[in-house]
Amino acid sequence: MTSIVLGLVAALCWGVHDLCVRKISATEGIFAALFAVLFFGSLFGLPFALLWGDAAAVMPYSWLQAIGAGLFFAGAGLGLFKALEIGPVRLVAPIIGGYPILSLLWATYLGSALTLGHWLAVFAVVAGVAFIAVNSDDGASSGRKRAAIWWSLMSGSGYAASFALSQGATQLSDEWSILLPLRLTALAAIFFLAMAFGERIRPRARSVGILAVMGALDILALTAVSAAGNQAFPEFASVGASTFGLVTVVLASIFLREALKPLQWGAVLLVFVAVGSLGL
Q: Give CA–CA dist 62/168, Å, rounded.
A: 8
Q: Kindly state the helix (H) or strand (E) to which residue 40 belongs, with its residue range.
A: helix 30-52
Report CA-CA distances (Å) from 112 to 65, 124, 131, 137, 235. Answer: 19, 20, 29, 39, 9
Q: Give CA–CA dist 277/4, Å, rounded.
A: 10
Q: What is the mean pLDDT of residues 84-97?
A: 75
pLDDT at 180 over 80: yes
pLDDT grade, residue 1 (50/70/90)? low
State what percent of residues in the chain have pLDDT above 70. Answer: 88
Most trustworthy range by pLDDT among 6-20, 131-145, 185-199: 185-199
Q: What is the mean pLDDT of residues 100-104?
A: 71
Q: Give CA–CA dist 9/4, Å, rounded.
A: 9
For residue 231, how far is the Cα from the chain centroid?
A: 19
Instruction: Give the CA angle between residues 269, 275, 278 to the nearest 5°.
Output: 140
Cα atoms in the 13 Å half-sphere on the side-chain side of 11: 30
pLDDT at 280 over 60: no
pLDDT at 110 over 60: yes
Q: Give CA–CA dist 71/133, Å, rounded.
A: 28
Q: Give the pLDDT score at 32.
A: 94
Q: Which residue has the higher pLDDT, 181 or 242?
A: 181
SS3 154: helix
Q: What is the mean pLDDT of residues 87-104?
A: 72
Q: What is the pTM of this model?
A: 0.82
Q: What is the mean pLDDT of residues 114-135?
A: 76
Sequence-ordered list of residues with C-beta below 8 angstroms from that of 46, at least 6 positions apart, any chain: 180
Instruction: Return phi, psi of residue 64, to 5°.
Output: -65, -40
Q: Which residue has the higher pLDDT, 202 or 104?
A: 202
pLDDT at 277 over 90: no
State the Cα torsion 168-172-177-183 to the nearest 10°.
-20
From start to end of 39-197, where are the E strands? Answer: none
SS3 203: coil
Q: What is the mean pLDDT of residues 99-120?
A: 74
Helix (H) and strand (E) counts for the chain? 12, 0
pLDDT at 278 over 90: no
Q: Give the pLDDT score at 71.
A: 97
Q: Which residue has the higher pLDDT, 130 or 48?
A: 48
Q: Give the pLDDT score at 26.
A: 76
